Amino acid sequence: MNESFLSACRSEPVGRTPVWYMRQAGRFLPEYRELRERYGILEICRTPELAAEVTLMPVRRMDVDAAVLFSDIMVPVAAMGVDLQIEAGRGPVIERPLSSVSDVERLRAIDPPKDLSFIEKAVQMLVVELDVPLIGFSGGPFTLASYLIEGGPSRSFARTKSLMFGDPEAWGSLMERLTQAIVASLRSQIEAGASAVQVFDSWAGTLSAADYAEHVLPYSKRVFAGVEDLNVPRIHFAVGASHLLEQMRDAGADVVGVDWRLPIDVARERLGSGVAVQGNLEPAALLGPFEGVEEKTRDILRRAGEAPGHIFNLGHGVLPDTDPDSLYRLTELVHEVSAR
């Protein structure tokens, strides 16, 4: 087992900077697009053999130091009784968005052995095949809440914030139920064999630090505390959340993901010792000439420095138009430049 990723998560010395990519298993790969011509996203997520196959695709193509389970953050939400679809080019779409306490009360608790057995089976299959660690994941409380309230992706998150500010009872009940579901989902993945987990609270960066502290952080702390006893690295990530880094750390993360908006050395200084950082090449850089990718990558590695505790990744997920060969070259570049 190549354990450089796990060592870096624990801020231990490594021979070279480990690399993996958010959304490395998915839409930019031609073999995945071919599979999608025959199967829907949720169908792939719910079929262990297909989910395992997609997870393995990027590992076969490039020398990444970790695999990330192919699934969707909305899968546990669907198991709570929510009628949803994943629309190509748009994302999750909820038929009946939540807007009141009575709506929230429709959500049921999930039972992973019953409701998410296909995820457990996919994880079990993968840990036999892989020679790198497998990362499990979940959406974060605010992000899942936003999809349920907005009915789909949003730019303003107006409905979400309206409920959060205007109906504390409904908001608290929703966050409570989502927190329980997230913990149950993460624990089932770890118990099935996942070596680390990441919480994607992707849209939490739309909140001010004060609002995040009041309305989200208490639940995020419970998510991370809910898997602490299982002793695997826990990663916390949000987009546009430079102002929340310290709070994301204080939620209980061992690793904080940083998007491309903040230099990695500034993030490391703010987070302090004992917390690893992950990131942070802008995904769109890979759509340009590789010379530019190399320049930005060398700068990130220089800024990250020699201290343990850096995992190279993008500042968000791989974009659909990315050339797989560019990602392969990037992986090799990071390994070569960072070799100690």
Question: Which of the residues are catalytic?
Answer: 23, 27, 36, 72, 147
What is the number of residues in the chain? 340
Return the closest-CA partner of residue 268 out of 239, 292, 302. Answer: 302
> Residue for token digits 């929230």?
104
193 conformational bin, left if phi > 0, alpha if psi -120 to 50, beta if neither = left
DSSP one-letter code for 87: E
Q: Please check whether residue 249 is in contact with residue 256, taking contact to mean a CB–CB distance below 8 angstroms.
A: yes
- Determine which helix (DSSP H) or strand (DSSP E) holds 197, and give its type and residue range: strand 196-200
Return the closest-CA partner of residue 9 out of 231, 220, 297. Answer: 231
3-state secondary structure (DSSP) of residue 235: strand
Q: Please check whether residue 11 is in contact with residue 303, taking contact to mean a CB–CB distance below 8 angstroms.
A: no
Q: Please check whether residue 211 is in contact with residue 244, taking contact to mean a CB–CB distance below 8 angstroms.
A: no
DSSP one-letter code for 106: T
Compute the distance between CA of residue 71 and CA of residue 31 in angstroms, rounded to an integer. Answer: 17
Q: Please check whether residue 149 is in contact with residue 164, taking contact to mean a CB–CB distance below 8 angstroms.
A: no
Compute the distance between CA of residue 54 and CA of residue 61 in angstroms, rounded to an integer. Answer: 12
